[in-house]
Amino acid sequence: MTDTTNLRPLRVDIISDVVCPWCAVGYGQLAMAARRSGAALDIHWQPFELNPDMAPEGENLREHLAAKYGSTAEQSAQIRSQLTELGTALGFDFRFGDDMRIYNTFQAHQLIEWAETQGKGHEMKQALLKAYFTDGKDVSDPQVLVQTAEGLGLDAAEAFGAGQRRTRRQRAPARGLLGAARHQWRACNGVRPPPPGDRRTGRRDLRQHSGTAGRCRPQIQLRPPPAPRPVGRTVCHLRDG
């Protein structure tokens, strides 16, 4: 058994949107793999907008998925049931409803980026996922964003200002990440959890199994670190639902 007591945290950059349910599940399974391996993670969330041209009022989620992916009502219900079950196992509460809407997430990403400078980028991402998927809040509403920031002990005025900046477009599309291709969606039917009863420790075990944590097998790509600590990158195949 490998002693992980003195290992430095593994940096993981996750490219994700606030309204991507499979990203919430994928992170939950990555965190589970880390706990089982005894490894510490240093999580950094990178922005990706699934719907950068979404209107301010948003769209009905079920209608949006039908128009974007051709999902039937039966398929949508099946996916929501699967997500809810997976979330429950991971301690995340998905609360889907027929009137659930999907929103533009530009300002939410601006807020996460600002929160990162305050040392709370990860906490902000988790709070916004909960606000959207559990509490049914509009994560494009500046008031919701400010309230979420205040809940983390951050300054309301600074949080509001961070959400209003529109001078910087998100970086992920420039890297060629445009979301999940249709064939990837159909080829992957669900999320594969870490193997049950897997208690192996050591950073190598985490790297092997954390790649199963996402809708279409998110990939953990390790790169040589610029600093002494190990660095990783998680690229999640993104989808609205």
pLDDT, one tens digit per residue, over 105-126 is 999 999 999 999 999 999 999 9
**pLDDT at residue 30 tops 50:** yes
What confidence tens digit (pLDDT) does each residue in 43-52 have?
A: 999 999 999 9
Kindly report which listed range (61-65, 71-75, 182-186) carries the lowest average pLDDT score.
182-186
What is the gyration radius of the CA atoms in the chain, in angstroms? 18
Specify the pLDDT at position 112.
96
38 within some domain: yes
Residue 130 within any structural domain of the chain: no
Q: What does the block give as tokens for 86?
A: 């997976």
Specify the pairing of strand 59-60 against strand 101-102: antiparallel
| Residue 172 scores a pLDDT above 90 | no
Q: Are 101 and 60 in contact (CB under 8 A)?
A: yes
How far apart CA 28 and CA 182 sit, in angstroms, is: 24
Q: For residue 184, is it within any domain?
A: yes
Given this model, what pLDDT does residue 184 score? 29
87 within domain boundaries: no
Closest by CA to 206, choosing from 34, 91, 86, 35, is 34
> Distance between CA 103 and CA 50 in Å, rounded?
10
pLDDT score recorded for residue 212:
34
Residue with tokens 């005025």: 157
Q: Is residue 127 part of a domain?
A: no
Q: What is the pLDDT of residues 91-109, one digit of tens each?
A: 999 999 999 999 999 999 9
pLDDT higher than 90, residue 227: no
- Residues 231 and 241: their CA atoms lie apart, in Å, by 29
- pLDDT top residue among 214 and 194: 194
Q: Is residue 201 part of a domain?
A: yes
Query: How many domains does the chain fold into?
Result: 1
| Greater model confidence, 225 or 56 | 56
In whole angstroms, what is the distance from residue 39 CA to residue 7 CA?
8
Nearest to 102 by CA among 73, 68, 151, 126: 68
The pLDDT confidence band at residue 7, using thresholds 50, 70 and 90, is: confident
CA torsion through residues 190, 193, 196, 198, sign: positive
The pLDDT score that the predictor gives to residue 131 is: 98
Q: Is residue 16 part of a domain?
A: yes
- 227: containing domain: 1-52+175-241
Residue 176 pLDDT exceeds 60: no
Question: What's phi and psi for 140, nearest 5 deg?
Answer: -100, -5
- For the full predicted model, state whether its pTM sits above 0.75: no
148, part of any domain: no
